[in-house]
Each structure stands twice: as structure tokens, then as C-alpha cells.
Chains A and B, each alone.
Chain A
Amino acid sequence: MRPFRYHRPADVAEAVAVLGAEPQAAYLAGGTNLVDLMKLGVQRPDVLVDVNRLPLDTVQELPDGGLRIGATVRNSDLAAHPVVRRDYPVLARALLAAASGQLRNLATTGGNLLQRTRCVYFQDTGKACNKRDPGSGCAALHGQNRDLAVLDWSEQCVATHPSDLAVALAALDAVVEVHDTDGARDVPLAALHRSPGTQPERETTLARGALITAVRLPALPAARRSAYLKVRDRASFAFAAGSVAAVLDLDGEVVRDVRLAYGAVAHRPWRAYRAEEELRGRPFSPELAAAAADAELAEARPLRHNGFKLPLTRAITVRVLTELAARAAS
């Protein structure tokens, strides 16, 4: 393991300043992803800036009915938060469907959003990977790509973003609060992660050294009827083979509003705008849900081993929306 220095900043400004001054520094939150990758030699920071003592560990109810979640709030605590459970069940469900109890006790909101892909080639310094080592090639494109993208990939990278939390936040139109050397700003979650394009090593739109301080959820009364459905290869402790976050607002039979996001299909949490469009204003039916999923997936380009993601994503779209609609009716 590369020797590194450890720094515990007094406040956000200092944290951002240290990252600004040290080209190879990294923030350390729960460390559940970063430390693993450091052991594997995939990430080799020379300074760790520990954000765990920064005052970013609270969940605040906002006057407009929304919620501000501090960047270091643990995944377990967030999932158990009564307001989250009541107003944003999709979020609680997504969190609880992720990783294991021990990991969730350490994992933070900010760290979860910025966790790296689980592409097996990325995690092995002995294999070609443009994301880890730009220009070295993408071993996954013609290699083992069962777990990787069907949408929006490039010849340079076919990785997926592994977070469940991010998929729920994408459906909820969350906003990420960021500090960098230019000060504080808001980034819509939908604009946080990038498509791989020709620069898969750049995963987010954040400036280098930017610190996530919080995630804001807008008030969304419809989200009380929301759900997260994750399908995985074993009953727990596995990343998604497919997942969908959904908020459904019905006016009688008619879809007044819907939010839909997919996990495990692309380099970023995939907000299914096209499917939402198909659904909005129409009387809900499972057939409509299937057609909406098909519309969203029309441009999918499955790889050699992951064609199953198309029928799977379609199936879970139908299932989750049908269940939400049934709940609305009862």
C-alpha cells in the first residue's frame, strides 16, 4: 500500500483548501470503497482528508417540506430516519437493499454517490482499463461484461454506476450541495454523474477537490407512494442485476406524475425520462408500463453477456409500477 499522510480538517473550507493544494489527495468518508481500492493499488492518494468529523452528519427538515441530508450521514441512519421512511420510502428501501449491515453503518451519503464502478477489470491493476489507466483500453468491452452497461456506453468504457442510493435520488430529483475552491453551489443529481464518452476516468461533473456537503430532497408529496425494486443474484449482499426506483402519482386511473430511474444499466443512475413521458397523462395499465420500459430501452445496446438486462429491467418496471398503482387503488 502506498504510504499516505492523514489530515483531519477543522472545517469545510480547510478541507477544500487542502484538496486544492494537493493534487493527489482524496477525501476519506466511511472508507468502505476508497480503502479497498487503495489496498488494491487502484487508487493511490498521498493524502487522506478525513471528512468524518466535519459537521455534515445531520438530517434537517426544510421549511418547504424537503429534506437536507448531510454528506456524512451514514446509510443506516438515513434508512432509519422517520421522515425518510414516511415521505421517501423509495430512499429507505434503496439504502436497505444495498451492501450489508456492517457496510451501511460506515458508508456515507457522499461516499456512496461517489463510489467507483464494480467492473472487475477496473479493480485489477493487471488488466487494461481506461477508467483506471486512461488509454490502456477497455478489457470489459469484449471481455466479461455481464454486470455492465446496456445504455449510453462508449467504446472506451462500458461500466455501470453501482449505487442503489443514487438511483433513488435520481428519481427524487435530488440536488447535491457542493463546495469547491470557488465556493458553494448546487448540482442536480441528474447532472452529477457523466456518461463515459472518451473520458471514462472522469466520472462526475465536479471540479477536482470538490466536497459534497449535503444532498437536498425537494418536497414531493407523491413520493410517499414510492418504491425501490432491486433484483440480484443472491438474496442479500449483492449489487443490482437490475433495479428501479419509482414514484407514482395517480389521478383515478390516470398517471398524473411519475418518476422512474434505473440502476445497473449505465455509467450513471439512469433517469427514465422517456418512459415517464409515455406514462404521463395516460390511464395506467401493466401493458402501458411495459411499453414505457420498451421506449426507454429502445436505444439499449446490450453487450455479449448482459442482454438479460433488457427483459429484466422491463419486468421490474412493470412489477413496481403495477404494485404502486394497486396501492393507490386500495
Chain B
Amino acid sequence: MSAGAVGRAYPRLEGREKVTGTARYAVEYPVDGVTYGWAVPSAVVRGRITRVDPAQALASPGVLAVVHHGNAPRLAPGPEPDLWLLQEPTVHYRGQFIAVVVATSLEAAREGARLVRIDYDAGPHSTVLTDDHPGLYKPDHINPSYPTDTAEGDFDAGYAAAPVRVDVTYRTPAYHNNPMEPHATTAQWHDGRLLVHDSNQGASSVRATLAELFELPRESVRVVTQHVGGGFGSKGYAKAAVVLAALAARHVDRPVRLALTRQQLFGPIGYRTPTIQRVRLAADADGRLTAICHDAISQTSTMREFAEQTAVYTRSMYAAPHRRTTHRLVRLDVPTPFWMRAPGECPGAYALESAMDELAVAVGIDPVELRIRNDTEVDPDQGRPFTSRNLVACLREGAQRFGWADRDPAPRSRRDGHWLVGSGVAGSSYPARARPCSATATARPDGSFLVRINVTDIGTGARTAMWQVAADALGVPPERVAISIGDSDLPTAPVAGGSMGTASWSWAVIRACQALRGKLPEGGSPDRDVSAEADTSDEVGGQPTLPRYAYGAQFAEVRVDATTGEVRLNRMLGVFAAGQVVNPTTARSQLIGGMTMGLSMALHEEGVLDERYGDWVNHDLATYHITGCADVESIEAYWLDERDGELNPAGVKGIGEIGIVGAAAAIANAVHHATGVRIRDLPIRLDKLVGVSELA
């Protein structure tokens, strides 16, 4: 890495376009003859559509068509039943899109949507997750392909024999991803070919899905994704908006723009499943864990199985001779849950890292020290040494930066006027994975280079990071490199998700650049364009299976008003060990963004479901509270200089998700330290604290 662009702070390449409003998002491209689609949600939870009467809608000014299961173009039944839209009269959940109204203006389409009359035969429904739900079952495996349950040693015996035990149950509500930009698409058909400008996290996979659904060769589908206003997992695969827009455009034979409303993001695009998690920990008198059990319950839909890997975090985080994890699911009449930033690890770490805090209190040792005592160099799950594990270093550095040493361990030991002040800590970890990817690199006679790869930059700075990586791999200053991303016509790349984007993409970029260098005259430019390509499938596939993880330590200080129960964050500090950091500017924004989202989870967010209607009633940002700027008084993220040779050529572990893991636990633990009150169902809001007798 001679030129040294990697590791240096660069502003985002497209930053100027974004802040001046010229960066184009999916429904902002000028398109001749464009029309507008409006998705119509079902008004019942479960049942069948018996009649669609479009007459009134069609009579409304500007309305061109009402597309529904009776007249929609046919789709091939694919592996994603959620995407088999407008194909059948069945309703699986309230809010499922059952029609699209197309009109010459957005307003006319919306009014048309209101005028479509739909009759249903509605059946009874079940939409609330409980730990005694009669439908609880054991899935075959959990996401993406982990075993459902694991057991090592004899948990029951180990637990029973231990001098210190904690047996606690935590609950988390549904969380809704809520990216700034909703799921949105402009779809156009030309001569049997489909072009979509779409907001997603992986244009290559969206193309594959559309090709499958519309039974087209992949070359006939092009997905352009230049800029994306966030996704947090919810845009990881093709979702309803792109399918509806393509269906509607084909039906009216005109380009269609379709953007979901904020309300429509609460459900149909996926959400983080509610969880009920029982954690049992047992330790000896020194706090060394002897038994760990994590039983997680979550929900899925009747359409397909989505089994959140909630307790997987617990399998590798701390060691103990007796360990057990289980996952149970219930199929409810709800939209299918989906990925949300650190699926599995995020809710799972909230439970385990909270329980560790409870154990620290029970044993009477410092919670940082408890974690250090239970560190392990060998993955308890795989039985092999971690390629690198710097949890303890993160804890130590974090404790020092945070000023942990001054902490009086006794709850309620600090007061500042009417505020009770407390601090908390949690561990954090996230797997470091990579997927096959391809890229090309081209050298031009003028000395410049072009790297082409279908990376999706969902706002993270991926474009900039790959540009830096390419410059170093080419051994030239980054100013001589151009990068082209966000178009499925470019070499195929995996999704921006699972904290494996940077690892996977940089791998292919580096290999392509290396191949190109091999073709170039020593020290000079070619006399015509010279290109090289790389596909990392074999290399990635051939990598040994080793436990590769990023680690972190989260620290939080909160204040709780002793009479009103208001909870506010004073400060939050995270230290992470995530391999090579490519761009400190964008890395920091990922880490503090994740931490802020964890704060939001701890104190604010809650999808409130009304069982009678079967949907979330607080489906807008005025009532579904997300942490605001004023809630983040001080937040700091640091990272260790970590080198791990067992990862990938760039040596990165990924940082998109680890920032959220453990963050909610650190805050919940701080609330307990401040008040002596342990709230085990999130969010921790004033209504759970005000009037609680221990508080005052």
C-alpha cells in the first residue's frame, strides 16, 4: 500500500453534490412521460380480497390505472413470497400492498388510492408475540445458516451448582429501520428491457431478483443506484417498491415513479422482530462464568420464515464450561421481519451484556473487570482461536478514556441536583465476513485509472473508501483514480450489509488493480486503455473457516430525573477493534451513528402494535421517536490500531454494525447504576420510572 490513501481522512467524493442538493436519488431523475404510482395497503389483517372496484378511482382526474391481482402482469413465483405482489387475492398482514394506482401526478395517484373500493373476507388473526404463544416452534436453522440450538457441557447441572446465579428476561419491541429516503423507484420498460433507478443496498441482487420475477435474462434488467438515503438493512434485497413500480410501468406502458410514504415503511419493508430473551448466568465467587444459557423468542410471518439469530452473540462472546442457546419462533399475521443494523447481535447483545451487568452486581465485582475475567482467546463455539480478539484492549482503553476508575460501584451514588447520575459498560462484537465480488480496473494513456464495481454507497462513504483502496493498490495518488459504482451493468458486487461490504469490495478492487499493474509497462502509462478484471469467488470461497470478529467496548453516562423519571444521556464513548480503518472520517460517522441508534433503541424507539388492528399505530416520526441531536450531548468513538492477517487483503473487519451492538446495554446498565432500578423492557422511558418508589 505505497501511496498511503488508506487510513487517511477524506471527505466523501459526492459530498458537495449531496449538500447542494444536486445528487440524484431514485425518484429524482427526469424522465419523459413519467407517471406516479401509489401503493394501496390492505385494510384487514388476514383474509381474501373478494372484490376490487376501481370505478371511482378511474373516474378521478389524472388516474390512469388501478393495478391489482386481477389485472397485474404475472410474476414468476420466486423464493421470496413477500415479493409475489398483486398476484393473488390473499392478504397475509395489515398494510400488505394489494394494488397500485397510477396517475399523472403524485396527488392524483394518492387520491385515486383512497377511492379504490376493496372488499374482503377477513379471518381471525394473531399479531402479538408472547412467550406462551401456542404457535411457538423450533425453526430448522436460524439466519443465515446457524444451528437453531447449541449445547455444550450440562447447563442445568452447571447452573444449579453455582454459588452466584442470574435469571432474567428482557424484552425488546419492534424497531423500524426508517432510513431518511424511503424505498423508492423509477421504473421504465423499453423493448422488453427493464431499467430501474432504485433505492437499495445492492443493485446486483435487485437485478437478479427482478430478472427472476419478470422472467428476463439478467442482461435485460438494469438497476441504477447512485445515491441512497440509508437503508439500515431494510434495502438489503429487492423490496415491494421496486416490484410494484416495475409491474405498474409494464401495465400502463409508461415510466412509473413510486415512493413509499413514511407510514408505509412501518411493516411492509421489514423491521426488527420483537424479542423475549431469557438469560441465565452462573459464576463462581470470583465472577468466572460456569454456565450460560440464552433462550430467545422472536416472530416471523405466515409468508416465510425469518429466524433472527438473537442468541448467536452469546455463543462466542464469553466462555463457560456449560453453555446453551435456543431460538424459538412464532408465525404471526404480520409482515416478515427483516434485517436491521446488526440483526441478531444487536438485540442479543442487549440481553447478554445487561445480564453480565446484573451478574457483576450479584458477584460484587466491577463490570469491566467481570468481562476481562471472562475473556477467551478461543472461540467457545468453534473451539478455534480467534484470528484476533481485542475485547480486553477495548475495555481497558475505553475505561481509561471514560474515567471509569473513579466510579463508585454503588447504585444511586451520584446526584447532581434533581438528577441521579450513573454509568454503564457493555461489550460489543460483530462477525467479520466477506463475500465474493468482482471488479475491473482500467489504465488510460493519460495516466488516469478507472475502477468499476457495483458497490452501493448507502451514505456510508463506500464510494470514497473504494477509491482510496484502489489508489493504494495501483500505487498512485487518489487524484489519478476515478471510480464508477452504483449500476448493475458494472461488475457484480455483494450487498452493502452485514458489515462485509468494505471487506468484499476492497478484495476485488485490490485484485483487479494488482492484475492491471501486471499488465502495465514498468513506471509508464499504456498507449491505449488497458483493463484487468478480478473475481474473488475462488479466493473467498477457499478461505479457511476461522472465528473472525470485530470487538468493542461501550461506555455510557446517563442522568435520570429523580421525580419525573426523564432519562438523558450525558455522554457515550466507544472503543473498537475492527482491523484496518480505511477512512477515519466516514468510519467515525458509522460508529457514532451505530451508537446513536443504540441510544435510540435504549431510550426512545418502540413500534406500538394494536392487536385489534394488527398494525403499528405510531407509524410516523412524530410518534415513533428516534433519538434527536439534542439527545446526544457528547459522543466519542475511538479505534485501536489492529492488524489481522487472516481477514482479507485490505485487513478490514467492517464497522457498519458494531457501533450499535452493546450500546443499548451500556445505557440500560447506566440507568440501573444511576437509579438502582432495573428496567428489562425497552425502551427505558419516563413512564416506567416516574412514581417508582425506589427512584425518589
The answer to whether B628 touches A1, judged by C-beta atoms less than 8 angstroms apart, is no
Quote the shortest CB–CB distance from B104 to chain A (angstroms). Answer: 13
Contact partner of B617 (CB less than 8 A), chosen from A124, A231, A233, is A124
Closest to A318 in B: B563
- A222 beta carbon closer than 8 Å to chain B: no
Q: Give the CA-CA distance A172 to B3 in the complex, in Å.
A: 69
Chain B residues with CB under 8 Å of A315's CB are 563-564, 690
Q: Give the CA-CA distance A310 to B618 in the complex, in Å.
A: 23
Q: Give the CA-CA distance A121 to B686 in the complex, in Å.
A: 23
Contact partner of A120 (CB less than 8 A), chosen from B563, B623, B630, is B623
Chain A residues with CB under 8 Å of B617's CB are 120-121, 124, 127, 143-144
Closest to B105 in A: A1
- A23 beta carbon closer than 8 Å to chain B: no
The answer to whether A233 touches B686, judged by C-beta atoms less than 8 angstroms apart, is yes
Closest to B632 in A: A235
- A208 beta carbon closer than 8 Å to chain B: no
Binds A, one of B143-151, B223-231, B304-312, B606-614: B606-614
The answer to whether A238 touches B631, judged by C-beta atoms less than 8 angstroms apart, is no
Q: Given contacts A1-B107, A231-B686, could you give 10 more A-B pairs where the C-beta distance is less than 8 Å?
A: A118-B623, A120-B618, A234-B627, A235-B630, A236-B628, A237-B630, A242-B564, A308-B691, A312-B564, A319-B564
The answer to whether B610 touches A144, judged by C-beta atoms less than 8 angstroms apart, is yes
Closest to A232 in B: B566
The answer to whether A308 touches B612, judged by C-beta atoms less than 8 angstroms apart, is no
Chain B residues with CB under 8 Å of A233's CB are 604, 625, 685-686
Interface residues as binary, B674-694 with A (CB distance below 8 Å gives 1, 0 otherwise): 000000000001110011000
Chain B residues with CB under 8 Å of A63's CB are none
Chain B binding site: helix, strand, loop or mixed by DSSP?
Answer: loop
Q: How many residues does chain B have at the interface if contact means C-beta atoms less than 8 Å apart?
A: 36
Q: How many residues does chain A have at the interface if contact means C-beta atoms less than 8 Å apart?
A: 38
The answer to whether A234 touches B690, judged by C-beta atoms less than 8 angstroms apart, is no
Query: Known contacts A120-B617, A231-B564, A316-B564: does B625 contact A139 (CB below 8 Å)?
Result: no
Quote the shortest CB–CB distance from B364 to chain A (angstroms). Answer: 33
Contact partner of B110 (CB less than 8 A), chosen from A1, A235, A310, A318, is A1
- 28 contacting pairs across A/B (C-beta < 8 A): A2-B111, A118-B623, A120-B617, A120-B618, A124-B263, A124-B617, A124-B619, A127-B610, A127-B617, A139-B613, A143-B612, A144-B617, A144-B618, A231-B686, A233-B685, A234-B628, A235-B568, A235-B631, A236-B630, A237-B628, A239-B622, A308-B687, A310-B691, A311-B690, A311-B691, A312-B564, A312-B690, A319-B563
Closest to B689 in A: A308
- A55 beta carbon closer than 8 Å to chain B: no
Chain A residues with CB under 8 Å of B61's CB are 3
Chain A residues with CB under 8 Å of B620's CB are 123
Interface residues as binary, A116-147 with B (CB distance below 8 Å gives 1, 0 otherwise): 00101101111100000000000100011011
The answer to whether B111 touches A3, judged by C-beta atoms less than 8 angstroms apart, is yes
Q: Give the CA-CA distance A141 to B278 in the complex, in Å.
A: 33
Closest to B62 in A: A3
Interface residues as binary, A250-280 with B (CB distance below 8 Å gives 1, 0 otherwise): 0000000000000000000000000000000
- B43 beta carbon closer than 8 Å to chain A: yes
Q: Which residues of B contact A (CB under 8 A)?
A: 43, 61, 107, 110-111, 114, 263, 418, 563-566, 568, 603-604, 608, 610, 612-613, 617-620, 622-623, 625, 627-631, 685-687, 690-691
Quote the shortest CB–CB distance from B116 to chain A (angstroms). Answer: 13
Q: Give the CA-CA distance A120 to B616 in the complex, in Å.
A: 10
Quote the shortest CB–CB distance from B49 to chain A (angstroms). Answer: 16
Quote the shortest CB–CB distance from A263 to chain B (angstroms). Answer: 14
Contact partner of A139 (CB less than 8 A), chosen from B563, B604, B608, B610, is B610
- A301 beta carbon closer than 8 Å to chain B: no
The answer to whether A234 touches B686, judged by C-beta atoms less than 8 angstroms apart, is no
- A325 beta carbon closer than 8 Å to chain B: no
Question: Which A29-87 residues have a C-beta within 8 angstroms of B?
Answer: 39, 41
Q: Give the CA-CA distance A241 to B623 in the complex, in Å.
A: 12
Chain B residues with CB under 8 Å of A118's CB are 622-623
Q: Give the CA-CA distance A321 to B61 in the complex, in Å.
A: 58
Q: Give the CA-CA distance A233 to B630 in the complex, in Å.
A: 12
The answer to whether A241 touches B687, judged by C-beta atoms less than 8 angstroms apart, is yes
The answer to whether B628 touches A308, judged by C-beta atoms less than 8 angstroms apart, is no
The answer to whether A234 touches B630, judged by C-beta atoms less than 8 angstroms apart, is yes
Quote the shortest CB–CB distance from A324 to chain B (angstroms). Answer: 15
Q: Give the CA-CA distance A215 to B630 in the complex, in Å.
A: 31
Closest to B622 in A: A118
Contact partner of A234 (CB less than 8 A), chosen from B43, B563, B565, B625, is B625
Interface residues as binary, A300-314 with B (CB distance below 8 Å gives 1, 0 otherwise): 000001101011100
Chain A residues with CB under 8 Å of B690's CB are 308, 311-312, 315
Chain A residues with CB under 8 Å of B613's CB are 126-127, 139
The answer to whether A234 touches B631, judged by C-beta atoms less than 8 angstroms apart, is yes
The answer to whether A312 touches B565, judged by C-beta atoms less than 8 angstroms apart, is yes
Chain A residues with CB under 8 Å of B43's CB are 126
Q: Give the CA-CA distance A118 to B625 in the complex, in Å.
A: 14
Q: Give the CA-CA distance A306 to B565 in the complex, in Å.
A: 14
Contact partner of A39 (CB less than 8 A), chosen from B110, B564, B568, B687, is B110
Q: Give the CA-CA distance A125 to B113 in the complex, in Å.
A: 13
Chain B residues with CB under 8 Å of A146's CB are 687
Chain B residues with CB under 8 Å of A231's CB are 564, 566, 686
Chain B residues with CB under 8 Å of A127's CB are 610, 613, 617
Chain B residues with CB under 8 Å of A311's CB are 690-691
Quote the shortest CB–CB distance from B16 to chain A (angstroms). Answer: 23
Chain B residues with CB under 8 Å of A39's CB are 110
Quote the shortest CB–CB distance from B190 to chain A (angstroms). Answer: 31
The answer to whether A308 touches B625, judged by C-beta atoms less than 8 angstroms apart, is no
Q: Give the CA-CA distance A234 to B625 in the complex, in Å.
A: 8
Contact partner of B686 (CB less than 8 A), chosen from A241, A305, A318, is A241
Chain A residues with CB under 8 Å of B568's CB are 235
Closest to A99 in B: B622
Quote the shortest CB–CB distance from A272 to chain B (angstroms). Answer: 18
Chain B residues with CB under 8 Å of A3's CB are 61, 107, 111
Quote the shortest CB–CB distance from B182 to chain A (angstroms). Answer: 14
Q: Give the CA-CA distance A233 to B613 in the complex, in Å.
A: 25
Quote the shortest CB–CB distance from A99 to chain B (angstroms). Answer: 9
Interface residues as binary, A7-19 with B (CB distance below 8 Å gives 1, 0 otherwise): 0000000000000
Chain A residues with CB under 8 Å of B686's CB are 231, 233, 241, 308, 312
The answer to whether A139 touches B564, judged by C-beta atoms less than 8 angstroms apart, is no
Closest to A143 in B: B610
Quote the shortest CB–CB distance from A26 to chain B (angstroms). Answer: 17
Quote the shortest CB–CB distance from B52 to chain A (angstroms). Answer: 17
Q: Give the CA-CA distance A165 to B564 in the complex, in Å.
A: 21
Chain A residues with CB under 8 Å of B565's CB are 308, 312
Chain B residues with CB under 8 Å of A316's CB are 564
The answer to whether A41 touches B622, judged by C-beta atoms less than 8 angstroms apart, is no
Could you say which of A123, A125, A146, A318 has the most chain B C-beta atoms within 10 Å of its C-beta? A123
Quote the shortest CB–CB distance from B416 to chain A (angstroms). Answer: 15
The answer to whether A139 touches B612, judged by C-beta atoms less than 8 angstroms apart, is yes
Q: Give the CA-CA distance A123 to B617 in the complex, in Å.
A: 9
Quote the shortest CB–CB distance from A4 to chain B (angstroms). Answer: 10
Chain A residues with CB under 8 Å of B628's CB are 234-237
Quote the shortest CB–CB distance from B475 to chain A (angstroms). Answer: 48
Question: Which A192-235 residues have a C-beta within 8 angstroms of B?
Answer: 231, 233-235
Could you say which of B610, B620, B630 has the most chain A C-beta atoms within 10 Å of its C-beta? B610
The answer to whether B604 touches A234, judged by C-beta atoms less than 8 angstroms apart, is yes
Quote the shortest CB–CB distance from B607 to chain A (angstroms). Answer: 11
Chain B residues with CB under 8 Å of A236's CB are 628-631
Could you say which of B263, B568, B604, B690 has the most chain A C-beta atoms within 10 Å of its C-beta? B690
Q: Give the CA-CA distance A143 to B687 in the complex, in Å.
A: 17
Closest to B563 in A: A315
Contact partner of B418 (CB less than 8 A), chosen from A2, A234, A319, is A319
Closest to A310 in B: B691
Chain B residues with CB under 8 Å of A144's CB are 608, 610, 617-618
Query: Known contacts A144-B610, A318-B563: does B631 contact A1 (CB below 8 Å)?
Result: no
Q: Give the CA-CA distance A231 to B468 in the complex, in Å.
A: 47
Closest to B688 in A: A308
